[in-house]
Chains A and B, each alone.
Chain A
Amino acid sequence: MSEFSEQLSVRQDLTEVPRRSQDDGAMVTVVDGGLGYAATSDLSQAGLRAAFERAHALARASAGRTVCDYQGIERAAASGRYASRVERPAASATLPEKLGWLQEVCAAAGSSDARIVDRHATLWSARTEQLYLTSDGARTEQQWEFMTPSVQVTASANGVTQIRSSAGQYSGFCQQGGIEVIERSGFRSSEGPRVAREAVELVGAAPCPSGSMELLLMPDQMMLQIHESIGHPLELDRILGDERNFAGTSFVSLAMFGNYQYGSELLNVSFDPQQADEFAGFAFDDDGTPAERALLIERGLLKRALGGSLSQARARAQGFDVGGVATTRSSSWNRAPIDRMSNLNVEPGSSTLEQMIGSIEHGVVMHTNCSWSIDDSRNKFQFGCEYARMVRHGRLAEVVRNPNYRGISATFWRSLSMVGDASTVDVMGTPFCGKGEPSQVIRVGHASPACKFSKVDVFGCAQ
């Protein structure tokens, strides 16, 4: 695996230190009695041989003491290639060009407004190449380009300080592709002024009111809602107990697949590795299994787990054929693959945004996650957003700050009462999904329409 990345940053109109990184290494997996992995940044023949010997020693040492018979697990022997769709590679722009864009965005983000106390524009690009080989004939070659532009503003007035960002303080707008990703994000054309304007609106806004009300979540909050209360609970390795010492377990059990009503009939959730430009698209997972689109939840019914071939086999050994998808992934060459989210999307419905707002008598529209917390079974959650507007009598009303809501996954999705049409969909994601022991931060994509939920417990801040 080989990854080159570049992180550029302009804060308060000053160019910060440009950072480059070249990360190269290999992971050797040996199945012999047990299972062993060895990762090395020494890619010489001797280094790879030494890694093989370490992996082999671990495989032998674990023989007869593993959670399943790894030798009995069938492995895909796929061959093929994948490459991100790239129109203008990041490398086609010079460093001064890219820094110039960041300077423009930073300057446009309220530089003349005394209420704006901090402005920060960043650009993170990466190019990754992966070669997967097995002794039984698999060979896959995949390469990706990733682009993540972001602008964040802090405004302060009258004792209130608020942060507003283009798509979340943890880079919610991230896609595969090159310079064209920057263009289609509106980063250079509109994001700086919008983010600054909304930050100023927030410091003059009242706290979000508390109460049970209609909640309209825009795609840059829906991505977090999907991620935490659908994605993680459906990870098959969690359901099998692997993560109970760290990331947690799941309220979903093996027996629920095929018969559990996860949400209302409006809820359709897909695993879609072929969605164009989405952050975690690929043709093969890191077990070499070909990746194909599949519905995990259809008309609200739980149908399929987020688990790769190994986890599916372990579930079958327990008497449950829960299905699965090709989503066994490693964050890099130095971590062994585990079940992850990849592109996990809510399918669009039939409502326009206007229809959804018009249907709300008393409610709130929330944008852009800034706080997230959920129990280790992925059930009781509480999420906060950067920006919200009240809706009264079917019309957008005043901006409110510090909006939060809480609920329980097992019942929340059943309160899904309207799903936006394709015109409301945004393709979002995150570079920072954490899980695993040793821990792994991995790229995940989430495309979603706006969605309306009924009778949600909403609250704000004290002052």
Chain B
Amino acid sequence: MIDVALNVNSCSYTKPAGFEALADALLRTDPGVDRTSLYLRAEASDFLRFNKAALRQATSVQQAYVTIAVERGQRRAEGTLALGGELSLDAQRLRAERALLISQLDLISDDPWLLRPETASHSTRDDRGALPEAGHVMTLVHELASVKLKQDFVGFYAGGPVVHAFADSLGSRHWHRVASFHFDWCLYHRADQAMKSVYAGVRWDDAAFSTKLEEAARSVRLLAREARTLEPGAYRAALSTSAMVELLRTLGWSGFSLKARRTGVSSLMRFQRGEAEFAPGFDLDEAIADGASPCFTAEGFMRPPRVALVDAGTLPTSGGTLNSPRSSAEYGVAANGAEADEEPEALRLGAGTLLQGELLETLDTGLYISNLWYLNYSDRQACRMTGMTRYACFWVEHGKLVAPINVMRFDDDAMRLLGSGLVGLTDAPEFTPSSDTYGCRHLGSVTTPAAVVEGFRLTL
């Protein structure tokens, strides 16, 4: 077990001193600009992917990117460089980039919607993890999944420190370092039927991993029962927290964006216009304080710990939108910590009253959906979504799992599902960290309870 020690050049940026030295070298007062800023994203990650309980690829990635931005009046230009880790060389390259960006300011026009922080701000978060070495994870998977349990194990481990840091010539300094791991895997019974599990956190525990894996191995036996193919139609359904994560993430795709609301392309336009509401007990926030995302943005704005998006099923008085600085200036609404894409990073749906341990009893007879997959909008204006069931979904009768189902497509109005169709939410919301690794390891999360809904429409 190690608290990842980093000693090669590029990883100096996963320690505060390296970034501070860069900031000292770059953020001097410059009469040619009003503000210069640096935004660092760095990580030292181990990636292990397994297929049939054997290693497919093992990759160590050490990367550091700095976005340097210069602003003068209503003009801003920015450039991003991959840094090698040798401070003097990196600083030299960033100085050259800054000079080029300053020259670009003369070539662009004023942007009336450019907004920047008025004052300096500071924050520090440093979550030190206890993470396993890559070789140790390979050994565990071999000994448990292959030798002991003899499972068709296919999975992906990602672990190591991730850093976001910000500094500007106004004096702002932010440091956000999270050392964590995320290991998700499937135990396959056959074809597309599998039991999906996740073990994630900041302190690795062999026993906890072993317990989760053995639980999954017991559960996968349920998939040996003969699968049913359901007819298209409307079904009472229990949505696991994983399925709810997919629904909520898709809602976050344009749903809460201020710009999308103002240009009429948000999936929640009916909600915005008061034509549809969520269920009365539906409270949804962007809760940065509860997640692993930084409390500052790439442009150096502070993010509030909580932004209400849905308040008891209705539009909050604050508007219920995520407002980037640019939209804020354009539409005359206060910014509230959103990045430029105005998508949530730490959604939190409040608890309901259904007992988590009695989810299937509450469902009684219907469909248990463990996972949803590949969601998209079939009619964005109407908040109608489509997607597939995936992995271990079951037909349930009288609160008991009866048979796995073959994958089915749904196409339904998500506002109705989470509004008049919502029977209830469970009392124990679960924190689900993002497993997204496009370009870098992402720090987003969704916290949500499971749900029971009426009339879940299957179409194919």
Contact = CB atoms under 8 A, between A and B. Distances in A.
Given A61-B138, A242-B154, A372-B376, 11 more contacts: A15-B109, A20-B101, A25-B82, A34-B58, A40-B62, A41-B85, A65-B142, A99-B109, A154-B263, A154-B265, A374-B388
Interface string A416-459: 00000000000000000010011111000000000000000000
Contact of A244 (B86, B194, B382): B194
B21 to A, nearest CB: 16
A186 interface: no
A156 to B, nearest CB: 5
B8 A42 contact: yes
A24 B82 contact: yes
Interface stretch (A44-52, A106-114, A176-184): A44-52
Q: Which of A16, A38, A44, A245 has its CB near the most chain B CB atoms (within 10 A)?
A: A245
B174 interface: no
Interface in B52-107: 52, 54-65, 69, 76-86, 97, 101, 104, 107
B58 A36 contact: yes
B59 A39 contact: yes
Contacts of B141: 65
A37 B59 contact: yes
A441 B438 contact: yes
A163 B266 CA distance: 11
B138 A65 contact: yes
A380 B460 contact: yes
A118 B263 contact: yes
A242 B376 contact: no
A93 interface: no
A38 B138 contact: no
A240 B51 contact: yes
Given A19-B80, A44-B84, A161 B265 contact: yes
B8 A242 contact: no
B51 A406 contact: no
Contacts of B109: 14-15, 99
A61 B134 CA distance: 8
Interface in B236-294: 263-265, 269
Nearest to B59: A37
Contacts of B10: 40-42, 47
A276 interface: no
Given A35-B58, A244-B194, A245-B154, A380 B388 contact: yes
A58 B79 contact: no
B374 A376 contact: yes
Nearest to B437: A438
A128 interface: no
Interface stretch (B180-188, B199-207, B314-322, B422-430): B180-188
Residue from the set B9, B77, B269 with the largest chain A CB neighbour count within 10 Å: B9
B407 A242 contact: no
B32 interface: no
Contacts of B81: 21-22
A439 B436 contact: yes
Contacts of B381: 160-161, 402, 461
Contacts of A51: 60, 62
Contacts of B269: 161
Contact of A42 (B62, B264, B390): B62
Given A40-B10, A437-B156, A244 B63 contact: no
B409 interface: yes
B377 A66 contact: no
Nearest to B153: A245
A154 B373 CA distance: 28
Nearest to B103: A95
24 contacts: A14-B112, A15-B108, A15-B109, A21-B80, A22-B79, A22-B80, A36-B59, A41-B65, A42-B62, A47-B85, A66-B56, A161-B263, A241-B52, A242-B56, A244-B186, A245-B156, A335-B59, A336-B59, A371-B386, A376-B388, A377-B191, A380-B388, A384-B378, A437-B156
Which residue of A59, A94, A375, A437 has the most chain B CB atoms within 10 A of its CB atom? A437
B231 to A, nearest CB: 14
A334 interface: yes
Given A14-B111, A41-B84, A58-B134, A35 B9 contact: no
Given A62-B58, A67-B52, A244-B194, A380 B409 contact: yes
A324 to B, nearest CB: 17
Interface in A93-121: 94-96, 99, 117-118
Contact of A58 (B58, B78, B409): B58
Contacts of B194: 244
Given A41-B63, A41-B84, A154 B264 contact: yes
B259 to A, nearest CB: 8
B175 interface: no
Given A19-B79, A25-B63, A382-B460, A376 B409 contact: no
Contacts of B437: 437-439
Contacts of B411: 382
Nearest to A253: B191
B374 A373 contact: yes
B386 A373 contact: yes
Interface residues of B, number: 90
A40 B8 contact: yes
B16 to A, nearest CB: 19
A440 B438 contact: yes
A42 B97 CA distance: 18
Contacts of A434: 438
B144 to A, nearest CB: 12
A17 interface: yes
B459 interface: yes
Contacts of A57: 135
A44 B82 contact: no
Contacts of B83: 41
Contact of B82 (A23, A375, A437, A440): A23
Contacts of B156: 245-246, 437-438
Nearest to B100: A20
A347 B81 CA distance: 41
B142 to A, nearest CB: 5
Given A241-B52, A441-B438, A461-B384, A402 B379 contact: yes
Contacts of A249: 191-192
B375 interface: yes
3 shortest interchain CB distances as A-B pairs: A61-B135, A161-B264, A438-B437
Given A17-B78, A42-B10, A242-B56, A375 B134 contact: no
A73 interface: no
A392 interface: no
Interface string A42-83: 111011001100110111011001110000000000000000
Contacts of B82: 22-25, 41
Interface string B97-128: 10001001001110111100000000000000
A463 interface: yes
B58 A37 contact: yes
Given A42-B9, A161-B269, A380-B388, A438 B61 contact: yes
Interface string B428-460: 000000001111010000000000000000011
B82 to A, nearest CB: 4
Nearest to A461: B379
A260 B82 CA distance: 47
Contacts of B51: 67, 240-242, 244
Nearest to B377: A371
A404 interface: yes
Interface string A325-365: 00000000011101000000000000000000000000000
A102 B185 CA distance: 46
A382 B97 CA distance: 46
B177 interface: no
B54 A67 contact: yes
Contacts of A160: 381
B155 interface: yes
A332 B62 CA distance: 13
Contacts of B387: 373
